[in-house]
A and B are shown apart, each in its own frame.
Chain A
Amino acid sequence: MRNLGWLRVPFIFTYAFLYIPIAVLVVMSFNASKSPFVWTGFSTQWYTALFNNELIRQGFINTMIVAVGATILATILGTLLAIGVSRYFRSAIVEAYSLAPAIIPDLVLAIGLLAFFALVGVTLSLFSVLLAHVVFGMAFVAAVVIARIGQTDSSLEEASRDLGAGVVTTFRKITLPSLAPAIIAGALLVFTLSLDEFVIAYFTNGPTTPTLPIVIYSMVRFGVTPEINALAALLLLVSFTIVISAQRITRLTDAV
């Protein structure tokens, strides 16, 4: 590593700024005291309390339904979108519009979707949240896959055809495997984004099926409890695991 010189100072400050709050949160989740500000001893009681909290458990199940469903749908649709846009349109404008849901503000997307669901008469429920997450998730998957298609040799598919494979076999044996790292990375990205998405879920959800971020939000309005700290620490663990495994997978398959 190169010597940073005086740049070391802002570097350390930036990292401290980023990670001290997270570290405090994780440490406090093991605090025996109910006060989030005073350390009185080590305890895992808040984790136990967390697992016994019916609201949180239901919120977690709802979130998983949305995240898993949205990931599957967004991955399939996003991959097809990416292939279509880069194979058949070759237009920068079409490509930009297909990626827009990933860029436009959540609030705008949320209000737009709410209006749309009202217009076509979709009852707000977990299903409408799932559809809403598919909308932006698809754009993220498409963005990652389009980048990958740009790097792959377009003659691979022609070579497959030349060697006697039909269109379907070529897609299954050549196109999909060569895009697999990007598809997996995109899927994991959608999963983590959906897991803690608040704004869109808040707008498009029905009243009886809150997702985990909405549950947390309503709990925090009455003050941050150590239980919330424990929950946040767990979410952190899940996100880190997914991000690191996504990197591993892309690196492993890229090294071929």
Chain B
Amino acid sequence: MTLDSTNAPLLRVSSVSKAYGDVVALDDVNIEIQQNEFFALLGPSGCGKTTLLRSIAGFEDPDAGAITILGAGSGTGSGPGEGGQIDLLSLPPNKRPVNLMFQSYALFPHMNVRKNIAYGLEREGLGKDEIAERVNEVLITTGLTDKADVRPAQLSGGQRQRVALARAIVKRPRLLLLDEPLSALDRKVRAEMQIELKRLQHEVGITFVVVTHDQEEAMSMADRIAVMHEGRVQQIADPVTLYSQPANVFVADFIGTGSLLHGIVANAVLLLRPEAVHISAEMAGAQLHGEVVETHFFGGSSTTSVRVAEMETLIVASHPGAPKFAVGERVGISWNADDAILLEDQP
């Protein structure tokens, strides 16, 4: 990624709102996505992230706001408005210089892999030779060359996902939208495909926007993440900032693990990440005292959950090695003021 590309905005979502009857799906959403960025829309189901993605692709019509492709840079994508601004909402889905990879992959069952991938290029009216060349190229990039003549039903989940990806990137879109790209895969393949997606994104140099409800997935792949909740953007930041400086209680709770403590600091919520919490048998000098209620050993590290009298939330501490305390033991809890995160107490 070059400095130039990181500074050039590619997509601007401004003041977009959408309601279905009384249900507000998007509430004044503002997002700017940079060229060549791997951007994630993260949130629990029903938070509006899929509605936003489908609005960008053209399958939902927002009630208000604008979605614009900014012409900066020399995108290879075809379509109207090359070089200038493109008002996406004025175009039907088949005229937008963006492509969507569907959650179900939506591979055409009556066509083989090669035909599936060629479909989008045929619609552009390209010559046979050019289509064949570009399809072969993308087959190599995605490692599907020996599956080219097979129909989707004969492929594994991971292979289908590659075909869906190949079918979208062969169009060389300005922006590739991916709707829960890994949710249909089993755990092991998912980990492989995370790395694969990241590699492909670098290789083809296309801006990726991924929708996911899995915070680990978003954290490990994305350059920047927009956390959404109830149709609103809660925070847009890189993974480290989201974790260490969450904007509000929702983000703090949704990203990573940690104990949200009320009543320690007046009118504020105190967030303690497990790695910031120290527990010891030493009671003197500890900020809180409690009783160990649970320990978990994960091999390399372990967590210890402590109940502090008259506090609803357990305080969880993580540390390397085996658990140091037994269930029922009294311990002192302490932390560095710098490691604790203070959040506004929401009504």
Contact = CB atoms under 8 A, between A and B. Distances in A.
A153 B104 contact: yes
Interface in A11-32: none
Contacts of A256: 109-110, 151-153
Given A158-B93, A256-B153, A165 B100 contact: no
Interface string B71-94: 000000000000000000000111
A162 B94 contact: yes
A121 interface: no
A161 B92 contact: yes
Interface string B158-173: 0000000001100100
Nearest to B119: A163
Contacts of A162: 57-58, 93-94, 99-100
A68 to B, nearest CB: 27
B281 interface: no
B171 A164 contact: yes
Interface string A142-163: 0000000000010110111111
B94 A153 contact: no
Given A158-B102, A256-B151, A256-B153, A163 B171 contact: yes
B124 interface: yes
B123 A163 contact: yes
A166 interface: yes
Nearest to B167: A163
B106 interface: yes
B99 A163 contact: yes
Nearest to B98: A162
A112 interface: no
A162 B119 CA distance: 11
Nearest to B103: A155
Contact of A153 (B93, B95, B106, B123): B106
B108 interface: yes
Nearest to B154: A256
A155 B153 contact: no
A161 B151 contact: no
B250 interface: no
A243 B227 CA distance: 56
Interface of A: 153, 155-156, 158-166, 169, 173-174, 177-178, 180, 253, 255-256
Interface of B: 57-59, 92-95, 99-100, 102-104, 106-110, 119-120, 123-124, 151-153, 167-168, 171
The list of the 3 closest CB pairs from A to B, nearest first, reads A163-B120, A164-B123, A159-B106
14 contacts: A153-B104, A155-B103, A156-B106, A158-B100, A159-B107, A160-B108, A160-B119, A161-B58, A163-B94, A163-B120, A163-B171, A164-B120, A164-B123, A256-B109
